[in-house]
Structure 1
Amino acid sequence: MQIEEGNKVRKLQMLMLTAAVLSIFVSSGVQSQQSPSATSRGSGTPEKEVTIRISVLPIINSWAVFVGQDKGFFAAENIKLEFKRVASGAEAASAMVGGSLDIALTSNIVSVVQANEQGYDLNIISNNNIVNKKYPYIALMVPYNSPYKTARDLVGKTFATNSLKGNIQMYAEAWMKKNGEDPAKVKFAEMPFPSMESAMKSGSIDVALNSDPFVTGYLDRNVARVLSWHHSDASPGGEALVGLTIASRKWEDNNVDALKRFLRALNKGIDFVRANEQGEAMDILAKNIRVPLATVKRFHLTEFRKGVDEKLLQESLDLMTDLGYSSKKLSAKNYISPYVIAQ
């Protein structure tokens, strides 16, 4: 278990090492069906089939892409998806930097800014998921029988996060600060989401920053309880942009048509999730993350929106500056792809 020492150099080295060894990640082997009816828009000629290597996590973040895969939206655009599983948005960004991915579905703005400050050119091509009061999704959880009730009770405690100095940690720090406590007075330990339960039971962590399917599992087994839905609780307007879909500018420039086709299919997946989140879309989610449908129906869901929400993106960037994740003022417009389909 790695405890944050505030060493940004070491963090960047870790990200690059992840990129170098990412080849050990195993592709899920799930690929889109070829669509013989796919044609170039308005030309009547078949569009060239393209394979896109895309990162996924076996959690709700990947829902719209799972739907697009199962419903044939990508196949209709003659796109074959090659899924690559990663553990965090930081790993996804590192994989892109290392050339192992074309599109990162599960990244976040902190990872994008950190990569671009090192000379890379990563762009946001779409929102991925958003949290708010209706769709809280990510929880700050404490042991079920613990005495912790407020942010003050957590001073000096150890928080588990899936990525040090990542988006989830940043919003936990923002929540501490909003509640009058110094975020520098808590510790952060990096570990995968599935490892947090055993770490909490052993007492090596005091707080788990986690999402479903793990949140519902903790609640079912009385392992932990929700102290805060810290993303929405810490955000100025009560909602936050959590996940992003990103690509490198070089890949975008060389694959403009494929990118547009990808975004058309992704947007159809988002529309389907929004219209059928308690129906067929939930069946598809349960199948792809391999969790019983009865359990998935009790998940704390997340909201999907098309395009890029520039206002929420700017709020996240302002938090980065406020909390010392970046030393300068950041502008949302500098991180949005010029090829984004306007919604």
Structure 2
Amino acid sequence: MKRRNTLQALAALAAAGLARPAFSQTTKIVFGYTAVTDFTSVFVAADQGYFKKRGLDVELKFIPLNSTIPAAVQADSLQIGGPTPSVYLQSVDGGLDQVVVAGGGVTSKSITGFGLVARAGSGIKTAAHCVGKKIGVPGLGAFLHVTFRAWLKDQGVDYKKVNFVEAAFPQHGDMLRGGSVDAVVSADPFMSRITDTGVGYVASYYSTFLPEGQPTIIHVARRDWAQKNAAAVRSFQQAVQEGATFMQNPKNNDAVRATIGKYIKLPAEVLAKMQISPPGPVVTTKQLDYWVALMKEQDMLKTSPNVNSLLFK
């Protein structure tokens, strides 16, 4: 009798153990970002605990040049990174198999947070004045480079007659001051710092010619990693969407700006007046089609990618 009771007790304990939920292991993700507000929904998701509550351990890693992000994702030093659409599409065109899992900022005609900043005394005022000049861009083939060339073309200027050099955002002010470039295509907070010191001036807020709602930053992962970690990718998407919702609530403005300052290391006075790119956490085939067409015009793609296959589903 005692043996039977013991066996029954052990069976009950075993059944109870099977009934308990399985232990959920936290997924580690190193996410690569650059020093722009287009990553704010990710910053917010990290600070507000939206990743953590979904079982994600997301480490945010600063990357100086956007153009290096796809290679870092491919090498698995980043599991997810935020290249510009043009940098991403060129990497796919070059053979990397990576998919879009979410989006960062999007364009808006009300945003004047980036533009052409000329060196004081350079005399640059129009697109035509850029011919023969040396202009720094934060990533050859990246968002600002491609869209600025599109603006030059729209203004009747051959962008091939402009000498572009790659320069990370933090270097822009020093390069203008030292005279190594005539102008830079820059963005806040670096643009405001340059104009506040008198080293340069905004020659054009060329960004206002861009169509509304086009992605400026997209979040990508290696296809095999995303497929293997599909549940984690879904959780990442949900967290970023929740971060975007938090951003859009005016009551959270101070908290959002404080979070930006934490990851981009900005002083309070700069944070208080800078514009924040509106979020676009979901990327569509139509948006990628826009970028493919723009890049085709600039002979940046050898192939015509099937954009539908580039979105993680």
TM-score range, shorter chain: 0.7 to 0.9
Of stretches 224-233 and 185-194 in structure 1, the one that deviates more from structure 2 is: 224-233
Deviation (angstroms), 1:253: 0.7
- CA distances 1:211-268 after superposition (whole Å, capped 9, x unpaired): 12101111211222222233442x3x35532111111110111001111111111111
Residue in 1 that maps onto 2:307: 332
SS for the counterpart of 2:115 is strand
Residue in 2 that maps onto 1:126: 102
Residue in 2 that maps onto 1:282: 257
Residue in 2 that maps onto 1:3: none
Relative to 1, partners in 2 of residues 1:170 and 1:58: Cα closer, same or farther, differing over 3 Å? closer
SS for the counterpart of 1:325 is coil
Tell me the matched-pair count: 293
TM-score (norm 1): 0.80
SS for the counterpart of 1:270 is helix
SS for the counterpart of 2:248 is helix
Structure 1 residue 312 corresponds to structure 2 residue 281: no
For residue 41 of structure 2, the aligned residue among 57, 64, 81 is 64
Is the contact made by 2:41 and 2:244 (CA closer than 8 Å) also made in structure 1?
A: yes
Is the contact made by 2:41 and 2:247 (CA closer than 8 Å) also made in structure 1?
A: yes
Gaps of 5+ in 1: 1-42, 339-343
Deviation (angstroms), 1:176: 0.5
- CA distances 1:28-63 after superposition (whole Å, capped 9, x unpaired): xxxxxxxxxxxxxxx965532111111122431321
Structure whose residues are more often helix by fraction: 2
Is the contact made by 1:111 and 1:166 (CA closer than 8 Å) also made in structure 2?
A: yes
Deviation (angstroms), 1:111: 2.1
Q: Could you tell me the percent identity over the aligned residues?
A: 22
Once residues 239 and 226 of structure 1 are traced to their aligned partners in structure 2, the CA distance between those partners, rounded to angstroms, is 23
Alignment of 1:171-186 (within 5 A): 171-186=147-162
Relative to 1, partners in 2 of residues 1:141 and 1:50: Cα closer, same or farther, differing over 3 Å? same
Is the contact made by 1:56 and 1:86 (CA closer than 8 Å) also made in structure 2?
A: yes
SS for the counterpart of 1:209 is strand
Once residues 171 and 230 of structure 1 are traced to their aligned partners in structure 2, the CA distance between those partners, rounded to angstroms, is 9
SS for the counterpart of 1:240 is coil
Is the contact made by 1:136 and 1:302 (CA closer than 8 Å) also made in structure 2?
A: no
Residue in 1 that maps onto 2:85: 109
Deviation (angstroms), 1:178: 0.3
Deviation (angstroms), 1:331: 4.5
- CA distances 1:2-53 after superposition (whole Å, capped 9, x unpaired): xxxxxxxxxxxxxxxxxxxxxxxxxxxxxxxxxxxxxxxxx96553211111
For residue 118 of structure 2, the aligned residue among 136, 142, 150 is 142
Structure 1 residue 322 corresponds to structure 2 residue 301: no
- Residue type of the alignment partner of 1:54: F
- Residue type of the alignment partner of 1:332: V
Residue in 2 that maps onto 1:158: 134
Is the contact made by 2:35 and 2:64 (CA closer than 8 Å) also made in structure 1?
A: no
Relative to 1, partners in 2 of residues 1:231 and 1:337: Cα closer, same or farther, differing over 3 Å? farther
RMSD between aligned alpha carbons? 1.9
Of structures 1 and 2, the one with the larger relative CO (CA 8 A, separation 6+) is: 2
Deviation (angstroms), 1:129: 0.9
Is the contact made by 2:93 and 2:301 (CA closer than 8 Å) also made in structure 1?
A: no
Once residues 145 and 240 of structure 1 are traced to their aligned partners in structure 2, the CA distance between those partners, rounded to angstroms, is 34
Residue in 1 that maps onto 2:225: 251
- Residue type of the alignment partner of 2:162: V
Residue in 2 that maps onto 1:13: none
Of stretches 158-167 and 243-252 in structure 1, the one that deviates more from structure 2 is: 158-167
Residue in 2 that maps onto 1:167: 143
Residue in 2 that maps onto 1:188: 164
SS for the counterpart of 2:184 is strand
Deviation (angstroms), 1:121: 0.8
Once residues 89 and 57 of structure 1 are traced to their aligned partners in structure 2, the CA distance between those partners, rounded to angstroms, is 6
- CA distances 1:60-115 after superposition (whole Å, capped 9, x unpaired): 132112211111111111211122221122211110122211100x2122222222
Gaps of 5+ in 2: 1-19
Larger Rg: 2
Is the contact made by 2:38 and 2:276 (CA closer than 8 Å) also made in structure 1?
A: no
- Residue type of the alignment partner of 1:243: I
